[in-house]
Amino acid sequence: MFKNIVVLTGAGISAESGIPVFRSETGLWEQERVEDVATYEGYARNPAKVHEFYNKMRRSLKERKPNPAHLALSRLEQEWQQGEVTVVTQNIDDLHEKAGSNNIIHMHGELRSAWCEHCDEHYPWEDDTSAATVCPKCNVKGKVRPDIVWFGEMPYQMGRISEKLNACDLFLSVGTSGVVYPAAGFCQIARAAGALCVEFNLEHSAGFSSFNYGLYGKASQTLTEFVDHLLKTGEALDKV
Ligand code: APR
């Protein structure tokens, strides 16, 4: 019988909502160099370019709606009686929130948040950021950056994530290629803690051999079926 559930999500869960993934033929990292827009060095070299990259994404969130995979996770959190459901997302979009999930850890930051490097405050942010942005907390100009964890930076809430992984019986990984650490190692931690580990993807991820099994196809379908079965029976859907 399962009690606590951790769900790791990646760009693939939002793909069916029209947000491009990072690694595919048409993925974001084919259009922009990671070093330019997702490292502190790139930001220091060309802040305007980096602000604009995230401004564009933040603006586009208004048009994005959660898909059945996000909705399935929200339903799971609301209806699961046996224990806790935690969503750990690598995504910086707001689709888990829009779907109604509450117990969410944004380990790679959020588009709808900003961070002042001067006063070290993180706060909700809906507008564009630029080198002219003044921090509403300390009034210093030019130190407000997108609240995104870039390559080379420490993901958020690792202590809390580690606690959740070590206390879960069921670990689901949805729409992530499994190449970016530390998230790519979460399955091994959960597995060592005794959890059943299932991946949901279009194809085998880089870390698929660490999972007990995978369900392959669009997450809107596979995850919805899995959650329906789990809520009805308390059991994991068998590998098909
Ligand atoms: N259903 C299920 N899986 C899907 C779907 C779908 N509809 N569409 C795509 N996928 C899968 C792809 O097969 C791929 O394995 O989603 C995965 C997306 O992989 P990436 O683009 O690498 O995204 P992610 O794993 O979230 O990237 C991790 O890398 O660039 C950084 O910080 C960024 O958080 C991001 C991290």
Predicted confidence (pLDDT) per residue in 208-218, tens digit: 999 999 999 99
At 108, phi and psi to the nearest 5? -105, 20
Of all residues in the chain, the percent with pLDDT exceeding 90 is: 94
Asked if residue 159 lies in contact with residue 167, where contact means CB atoms within 8 angstroms, the answer is: no
Q: Can you say whether the dihedral through the CA atoms of 70, 74, 80, 86 is positive or negative?
A: positive
Between the CA of residue 156 and those of 7, 14, 161, what are the distances in Å?
16, 20, 9
Catalytic option among 51, 106, 108, 204: 108
Query: 149 CB less than 6 Å from ligand 1?
Result: no
Region 134-151: mean pLDDT is 98
User: In which band, very low, low, confident or very high, does the pLDDT at 240 lie, cut at 50, 70 and 90?
Assistant: low
Q: Is 142 left (phi over 0), alpha (psi -120 to 50) or beta?
A: left
Global pTM reads 0.97
User: In which band, very low, low, confident or very high, does the pLDDT at 25 lie, cut at 50, 70 and 90?
Assistant: confident
Residue 171 pLDDT exceeds 80: yes
pLDDT digit string (tens) for 225-238? Answer: 999 999 999 999 98
Active site residue 108: yes
